Copies of this chain bind each other. A is one copy, B any other.
């Protein structure tokens, strides 16, 4: 559920027939002005997705691990904090996962990086039969790679032309940059 008024998100969710996995995005405006509705909604979703500022603002915690834990206690089964150029932090009761962004200096337009990430992440999980630690980590990696392409050109110019082969090729490079 992309970022809109939590009341609208709530009505949308009520119309879904037993969704397999629900992720919720939000933003500073709703966190400040519709805090109570947003917190109520968090109890009904599987994954709460926020950037680092939003996570700090909604949780009241500066340390992001503490912020993730506090947001987790609000109800979602998983908390995903996007840190832009610094990557992401994923928190569940089973595991914590910290992943850097794809190291690139080819940044034309960062607009939409977070949404492209969410699309790649949810898209991978939608194709996958199981949702577990391994597939969640892979989905986070694919979301990261999708976002790394989107920033290479304005709007969706690069993402429109994106093929699975491009992601697979970049995955090989990414592994060399982050695995040890």
Contacts and interface: CB of A to CB of B under 8 A. Distances in A.
A63 to B, nearest CB: 5
Contacts of A95: 176-177
Interface in A155-180: 176-180
B96 A63 contact: no
Nearest to A136: B180
Contacts of A96: 103, 177
Nearest to A89: B103
A66 B180 contact: no
**Copies of this polypeptide in the complex:** 2
A119 interface: no
Interface stretch (A3-11, A18-26, A80-88): A80-88
B138 A180 contact: yes
Interface string A102-118: 01110100000000000
A27 interface: no
Interface of A: 63-66, 69, 83, 85-87, 89, 95-101, 103-105, 107, 134, 137-138, 140-141, 176-180
